Chains A and B, each alone.
Chain A
Amino acid sequence: MATGKKNPLPPRGIEAGTHRPESPQDFVPRIGRGKESAKRTIDALFGLGAVISALAVTSLVLLATGTSPVSAFSNIIAGSIGGKTIQDVLVAWVPLALAAAGLLYTFTAGLWNIGIEGQIVLGGIATTWAMRAMQETGWSPWIILVLAILAGAAGGSLWALLAGILKTFGGVNEIFGGLGLNFVATALNLWLIFGPWKRPGIASMSGTLPFPESMWMPTITPQSRLALIPVALAIIAFIITGLLLSGSYFGLRLKAVGKNPRSSYILGIPTWQHMTGAFALCGALAGIAGAMQVTSVYHRLIPSISSGYGYLALMVAMLASCRVIPSMLVAFFFASLAVGSIQLPIVLKLDSSLAGVIQGTLVLAVVLAEGVKRKFLAKKKAGL
């Protein structure tokens, strides 16, 4: 229903990179880069200003707790990219990057997929279900892993479709539907770990019984936690997403729907199909992120399987203005911050939530700087 006329070509007048500064009520994703060098300089200056003010605010917070900002920051750097922990950064980068890649679809379609956290959980649950069903069949571990990851993608996708259907057919705002579904996903996960899938003997917060070691995703060395396949999958996800969003009719139509669903609908773009499609694709990537956590990091289902990666990925996509390559880099930066702050409680007696404080301050500063820049440009225009 609601398709209107079939229109194989994108409507005229809707092109990549055009955005309407006068409609700031939506978080407008920008795909495509500005060309004029003056604009680029202004962008860079405001970006720099945002980063400096974010660092200044974080330093003030640190000083308020009586810590030297220099020692805190240098500890984070030493604990992340500065040492052997770079492997841990990549381990944290994989789910964050996969989720951020997924969010590029929903943001492009103008949707706030806050339910991504639950979609990662459902990916983990579906993968665990598939692994449990197949681990005693004697099949090749590779076949089992591939099928389990596909199951994870399907699980995440279905959970996202639920939010999508609630939005398109039930009129439930995707933010609230998604949030509710996140809580439900967490409860489902806990129920499985403490109920049907509990360890023989006693159920515990440490999760389900680990899978046989032969079915673990192989890591680069036996001691390392880093497996190459998840990293490769995350990179492939970004390449496909980049190609789809900036090089296909699907991407172009999705952008049109995101910019103005009403006029896209009138122009004959199947609007709700594109919205639910974006949800399904995002959910599939989130589900794969959950599958990676289960198959290559924990080798079992644990209560906090999504570990807040979904919410963090939303911040990544916002900071990168929904552009593909910046999203990859920002995800890496955020993963470094998270890993680098793990040892803060031991070394400096600081809570490791400092990473979240830095990330949040940075995104907030960038959002505010974007607004100041818009005001500044408008004033300059009026002055000319």
Chain B
Amino acid sequence: MRNGEKIMPVNVFTTVSDSALCQKCPALLAYKIHKGFKNAWKIGIKGNGAAYGTIFHNEIARVFFEAASNPSSSLYPEISCCLAGNSNSLEALIRENIFLPFVEAKSKNLDSKQITSMAEGVTVWVDAMSEFFALIPSLAVSPEKIMPSVFIKPEQKLQAVYEYNSDSRLIITGCYDALLFNPDRGEARLFEFKSYMKSDISVPLSQSLIYSWLIRGHTGITPSVEIIYLAENGKEPDVFSSSCVDGMIESGLAELFGSVFEVIYLRKVPDFLRDLNLCRQCPFNEFCIDDWRS
């Protein structure tokens, strides 16, 4: 109470992606939120010149995970058969039932580089999935029984609250790419697919940590994290164990959320360690200090 007036709690809303942008550079988040610079996330990212991330999520990964998590879907029996090792490989199944039908329907609106790059990305993704499934022996024995415990509906929206102080809260919302469970080991794994090249790990990692934090809040289980770079055929994905994820959540997220709150609500860019390589590629290089001087 101040002057007898009731203080209303402050609710600041943000997304997981914006929080990860803040991890990359708080000034970039400020430019995005307060100056409308929507492409802030692209700064410093190296792609292979054929952007296809959204199409991959919507047209390939989501279709597969939805079919695998829904026993009444037409593809469910084939996936089950494939996981039991009684039919074509997972790659052939996805190629024939998801990838080629997608190409047939949408190729006229895409250029060939996008399609062939996506084909490479799908191969990387399928390899990562296959490796995960190989660690669940019961899946090959009785897929029909085990599949519901492995696949959960993909890309679910989760929300959680971070208390900035007694009367200010940051409400974070996000939609992860894929979460799979290994019932044989009692583990969960969060997959994040990135269509850009592997450069600064801190951004996709912080994004995955926030998702893991959201998942832990909803399920009580901290997943391990696997970040897959679709444009990096041949490079190992980054994998972080569940205990490692727990440790990183405890040590880093509070400070990050504090920065996000300050940037969005207080329009203040906290002091941070500059990544000179990123600054060199940034159109606001050398102006940001003046633009966001507290």
A binds B: no
Q: Which residues of A contact B (CB under 8 A)?
A: none
